[in-house]
Structure 1
Amino acid sequence: MREIRFNAFDMNCVSHIQHGLWTHPRDQSNRYTELAYWTDYAKRLEAGLFDGIFLADVVGVYDVYGESPDAALRGAVQVPVNDPMLLVPAMAAVTKHLSFGVTANLTYEQPFLFARRMSTLDHLTGGRIGWNIVTGYLDSAAKAIGLDAQMAHDDRYDLADEYMDVIYKLLEGSWDDDAVVFDRAAGVYADPAKVRKISHEGRQYRLDAMHLSAPSPQRTPVLYQAGSSTRGRAFAATHAECVFVNGQKMESVRDLVDDIRARALAGGRTADDLKVFVGATIITGRTEKEAQEKFEDYRSHASSEAALVHASASLGIDFARYDLDEPIQTGKSDAIVSNVEAMTRSAGPQWTKRKLLDQMILGSRQMPMVGSAEQIADRLQEWMEKADVDGFNLSRTVVPECFDDVIELVIPILQERGVYKTGYREGTLREKLFGAPRLPARHVGGRYRTGNRD
């Protein structure tokens, strides 16, 4: 029976996905600037045998709604937001097994410096780092670095393919595994014959340099990717080891998962090369009544305006311009194309702001699972079976109690059923997920490793 995996899904900010819940009197997300908040968080998750914490990020502000950032600032809609990577070493220092998936936008990161940052984190965590590869969707982010607007959706993926080519060359091909000899007697730390410059001449990037970091435990971090558009699926099938999907209906998610797995197989990978995580929000209690009461309590703090601010940015549509029942004109968008497609599937081609708000009962489009711990366990197992997913990225609601409830109430039931671990496996994140510390040779990145290069 397949083991269920959990990542806590969060962000280095006050309000992440379930908007407005930071106003709840028991919520502690306003402490996001305190290092102790994050180290306590990490210890709590590891004690509960979570696989990891998955940190989202954006590098722009949500200013599509009303053509202004004002509503985002009022509702703390992922602003202010701090760098997720700086949290990782502190959380790693107080844990042994918890993994860290960090989001980084490759559109605005130079690959040479980014590769060093990933190697550094992989060293400092003992091989527990993963990278969520994103290409961005905010014009505000493009303008922040001097561009007039972001690149077109599919062009961003073309850039990403070349970016990954450079990253693999640096992380996998620059240093041999035995380049570091650390010979005190001879006064030789690294063998120059086993370190080489990387040369790259491409459409977007030029490089002639050796990687600055010695080989880390995983070399390449575990690769996450969350694109579900047609172009995003092709990218995921080529590069991703862990795919993050969202969806309200198991059938739709299963179709998406089947497509990505089929594309991966067609590219020479195996079925075991991919782990799929679906986004989920859990509200639970010892009884169904207790869970429903908690849900209604949370719901009273949700913000419709903040939810629309986020949706406007991710869908590329200014909802402030529409009345409640006015048909929404989607048109072509360079935001998150898969979100527009998903919304059209769920609400129909003539969807309205009212239909959208009807799905945002906790301040986001992610419908929560509400029920007793037994009911939640049943629902999670049903998702595993019917949607062919490997685990869940659990979005926070009121922290820390939302994760405490899962740890205290749901995980013991899953353990009794034999579908959740009772202890951590040893090794790096990739070893825990796939049984080997490095990318397999059949992965496009593994082909750049010494001895595997063309």
Structure 2
Amino acid sequence: MSREIRLNAFDMNCVGHQSPGLWTHPRDQSWRYKDLDYWVHLAKTLERGKFDGLFIADVLGVYDVLNGNADAALRHSAQVPVNDPLQLVPTMAYETEHLGFGLTASLSFEHPYTFARRISTLDHLTRGRVGWNIVTSYLNSGALNIGQAQQARHDDRYDLAEEYLEVCYKLWEGSWEDGAVVRDRASGIFTHPEKVHPINHHGRHFTVPGIHLSEPSPQRTPVLYQAGSSSRGKDFAGAHAECIFVAAPSKTVLKRYVANVREAAARAGRNPREILAFNLQTVILGETDAEAKKKFDEYRSHVSYEGALALISGWTGIDFGQFAPDEPLRHRYTNAVQSAVETFTTIDPDRVWTVREMADWVGIGGFGPVFVGSPSTVADLLQEWVEDTDVDGFNLAYAITPGTFEDAVDLLVPELQRRGVYKTGYREGTLREKLFGAGPRLAAPHPGAGYRDLAGQRQTIAASA
């Protein structure tokens, strides 16, 4: 029996997102990112298509690696200007009933005490439809602009991330007991103070002695997303993530990544099947294959080569402006450049990529693959990838917005539903309940569930001392 396919929409509070230059297309409306009506229309469209969620990416910093400055990013709107993603959510949640919202927020640049309150507030306002994409940030410009000397080393960022989550778990799960809030008008008691506990956290990076400022929200801890691709990142995802995102351009890369994270989850004592994996994908649809191909060619004519290089340079930390557009890369330059194109070689091991060809690939949909065709053709490909890689679904990027998403809802979703591999309705409850069909809160053996009884744990420690 074919597995159910899950879909998220992948967007960002900016212009163009993963398709640099496509803002010049006459039907693209990403320039309306400052308009709440634009976001409400998108949210309603996605809910009509029974998407699990709208995943909103974010960066704190600019893509200034190409040629050593941000000129190309600014000129071609390569994820700049960019606005805060969290402020979009309450309005979209008010206008929808089921759609989930995955927010990217970097733990490198905000203290967990204030961040935990912001997420609890969103979880309240959305009635439990919030997820958090845990990122440690990769742009050095972001670190510099909040006063750090430079971006912290990769493994040091994950050390901080482990403690950051510990603080958040203590605040979300352990500070307020169930039943602390009674709102008893007769007695005049709103909250039983003996059921609210300071977390008394004193760690290497953070000191948080007090209580969580928010009363427990529907999920307490938001649904946890993670997208680390390094060995350390995959171990972190295996321990903490409920959903993982990857931008694999080939089935080979995707299958290996999903298997690695599931193995990491098993090592952490978790059920590997309880982690949902999503790959970055872009689908260009038409009523026929020929119509879709014509649309794709039209989109490609708007791609910004320089804008694509700005993104690739920022993602890899390599200034691709130093290479001629049509020079082959694989055997000519440093090991760093070879590692940057290693992922691409899995698409065709015999192919020698040039900078121009990499930019062409990234120009629509970023590192993820692009599927072009009729609903039947694209559905075949999605099902093939699910069966061959063990991925659970796809994070759909856009070429133009909202057009790419409208095509997915109007053309692709009905075809998937006809095949019996896509839901026809939402589960009730919070985002966690909709995704996993269980309760609204983290469950053991997830590490977050272990912080639930802070008072009891302290009594046990005191008694054994």
Q: TM-score range by the shorter chain?
A: over 0.9
Contact 1:315 1:340 in 2 (8 A): no
Contact 1:198 1:209 in 2 (8 A): yes
Residue 35 (structure 2) aligns with? 34
Residue 364 (structure 2) aligns with? 362
Residue 111 (structure 2) aligns with? 110
Distance 1:397 1:302 in 2: 10
Match of 1:283, SS?
Answer: strand
Residue 73 (structure 2) aligns with? 72
Which of 439, 446, 450 in structure 1 is aligned with 2:449? Answer: 446
1:34-73 to structure 2, matched below 5 A, reads 34-73=35-74
Residue 425 (structure 1) aligns with? 427
Distance 2:134 2:240 in 1: 9
1:329-368 to structure 2, matched below 5 A, reads 329=333, 342-343=343-344, 352-360=354-362, 362=364, 364-368=366-370
Cα drift, residue 363 of structure 1 = 7.0
Residue 376 (structure 2) aligns with? 374
Per-residue CA shift, 1:314-342, capped at 9, x if unaligned?
00001111223164645569xxx996653
Residue 463 (structure 2) aligns with? none
Residue 14 (structure 2) aligns with? 13
Distance 1:427 1:363 in 2: 32
Residue 399 (structure 1) aligns with? 401
1:141 to 1:341, Cα distance in 2 relative to 1, 3 A: farther
Residue 150 (structure 1) aligns with? 151
- Unpaired runs of 5+ residues, structure 1, are none
Distance 2:410 2:352 in 1: 43
After TM superposition, the structure 1 stretch with the greater mean CA deviation from structure 2, 43-52 or 69-78, is 43-52
Report whether the alignment pairs 1:437 with 2:443: no
**TM-score normalised to the size of structure 1?**
0.95
Residue 202 (structure 2) aligns with? 201
Distance 2:114 2:396 in 1: 31
Contact 1:77 1:306 in 2 (8 A): yes
Distance 1:330 1:109 in 2: 36
Residue 190 (structure 2) aligns with? 189
1:179 to 1:340, Cα distance in 2 relative to 1, 3 A: farther
- Unpaired runs of 5+ residues, structure 2, are 461-465
1:15-414 to structure 2, matched below 5 A, reads 15-324=16-325, 325=327, 327=329, 329=333, 342-343=343-344, 352-360=354-362, 362=364, 364-414=366-416
Distance 1:309 1:141 in 2: 16
Distance 2:202 2:352 in 1: 47
Per-residue CA shift, 1:297-328, capped at 9, x if unaligned?
11110111100000001000011112231646
Distance 1:74 1:164 in 2: 37
1:344 to 1:201, Cα distance in 2 relative to 1, 3 A: farther
Distance 1:330 1:167 in 2: 41
Amino acid of the residue matched to residue 7 of structure 2? F
Cα drift, residue 50 of structure 1 = 1.1
Cα drift, residue 91 of structure 1 = 0.2
Match of 1:86, SS?
Answer: helix
1:141 to 1:429, Cα distance in 2 relative to 1, 3 A: same
Match of 1:445, SS?
Answer: helix
Aligned length: 451
Cα drift, residue 56 of structure 1 = 0.1
Cα drift, residue 365 of structure 1 = 3.2
Per-residue CA shift, 1:29-62, capped at 9, x if unaligned?
1111011111111111111211110000000011
Distance 2:161 2:343 in 1: 23
Distance 1:144 1:220 in 2: 29
Amino acid of the residue matched to residue 122 of structure 2? L
After TM superposition, the structure 1 stretch with the greater mean CA deviation from structure 2, 201-210 or 137-146, is 201-210
Amino acid of the residue matched to residue 137 of structure 1? Y
Cα drift, residue 255 of structure 1 = 1.1
Match of 2:362, SS?
Answer: coil
Cα drift, residue 354 of structure 1 = 3.7
Match of 1:7, SS?
Answer: strand
Over the matched positions of the two proteins, sequence identity in percent amounts to 55
1:339 to 1:396, Cα distance in 2 relative to 1, 3 A: farther
1:332 to 1:110, Cα distance in 2 relative to 1, 3 A: farther
1:339 to 1:50, Cα distance in 2 relative to 1, 3 A: farther
Amino acid of the residue matched to residue 285 of structure 1? G
Per-residue CA shift, 1:402-446, capped at 9, x if unaligned?
111111111111111111111111010000111221101200111
1:194 to 1:372, Cα distance in 2 relative to 1, 3 A: same
Alpha carbon RMSD of aligned pairs, Å? 2.0
Cα drift, residue 256 of structure 1 = 1.0
Amino acid of the residue matched to residue 437 of structure 1? P
Cα drift, residue 344 of structure 1 = 6.2
Cα drift, residue 360 of structure 1 = 3.4
Distance 1:338 1:166 in 2: 35
Distance 1:226 1:382 in 2: 23
1:259 to 1:7, Cα distance in 2 relative to 1, 3 A: same
After TM superposition, the structure 1 stretch with the greater mean CA deviation from structure 2, 362-371 or 426-435, is 362-371
Match of 2:200, SS?
Answer: strand
1:22 to 1:61, Cα distance in 2 relative to 1, 3 A: same
Distance 2:238 2:52 in 1: 23
